[in-house]
């Protein structure tokens, strides 16, 4: 009897206490290389490198093994990853959105100010769409660097998802993938 009470207590703790889960994604557009790091309670448990090729990702593990993965929205609606990605995005709640950018063209101060203003306007428009749907706290900082030639751009999002909504998204994605695969005559594994 005590074992069942302990198990129910542990399940209750997992369901109702927030667990800190952090995802860090870095991507270098010039070299087409990125890194994905996943942390659970400040312990790193996934560290992957990736690059883009068309509508897919090439994921490289530490041991050198490579895997080709299709991006969300790449076309096949019977794909589990596409369905799960769509459902997950619908259920995410954005708490904070932070943008920090330094833009500079050393040789031309006018160009630096025009690029900074344009970046500020574009980021404000994009964040206004996010604010209209998800209602986060937004910090938008775009600064000119007149003495350096640079384009430094950082976005930090703090998102929240309920464990119930995560499970619901997972089940809906499986159902959609199975339904579409049965309709098309494919076997889903």
Report pLDDT digits (tens) over 61-82: 878 888 777 665 555 555 666 7
pLDDT: which is higher, 32 or 182: 32
Q: Hey, what are 33's tokens?
A: 């290389």
pLDDT, position 46: 76
- At 106-140, the pLDDT tens digits run 888 899 999 899 988 988 888 887 777 777 788 88
* pTM tops 0.85, yes or no: no
pLDDT, tens digit, 9 for 90 and up, residues 98-113: 888 888 888 888 999 9
pLDDT digits (tens, 9 = 90+) for 27-63: 776 678 888 887 777 777 778 888 888 777 788 887 8
pLDDT for the residue numbered 3: 64
CA distance 78 to 35: 28
């Amino acid at each position: 009897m005590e074992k069942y009470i302990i198990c129910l207590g542990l399940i209750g703790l997992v369901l109702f206490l927030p667990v800190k889960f952090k995802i860090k994604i870095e991507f270098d557009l010039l070299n087409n290389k990125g890194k994905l790091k996943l942390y659970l309670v400040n312990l790193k448990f996934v560290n992957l490198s990736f690059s883009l090729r068309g509508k897919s990702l090439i994921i490289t593990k530490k041991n050198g093994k490579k895997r080709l993965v299709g991006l969300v929205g790449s076309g096949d609606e019977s794909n589990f990853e596409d369905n799960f990605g769509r459902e997950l995005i619908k259920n995410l709640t954005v708490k904070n959105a932070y943008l920090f950018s330094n833009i500079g063209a050393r040789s031309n101060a006018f160009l630096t100010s025009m690029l900074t203003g344009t970046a500020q306007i574009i980021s404000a428009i994009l964040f206004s769409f996010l604010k209209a749907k998800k209602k986060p706290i937004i910090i938008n900082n775009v600064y000119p660097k007149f003495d350096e030639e640079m384009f430094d751009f950082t976005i930090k999002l703090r998102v929240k998802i309920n464990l119930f909504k995560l499970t619901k998204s997972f089940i809906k994605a499986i159902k959609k993938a199975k339904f579409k695969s049965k309709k098309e005559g494919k076997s889903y594994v």
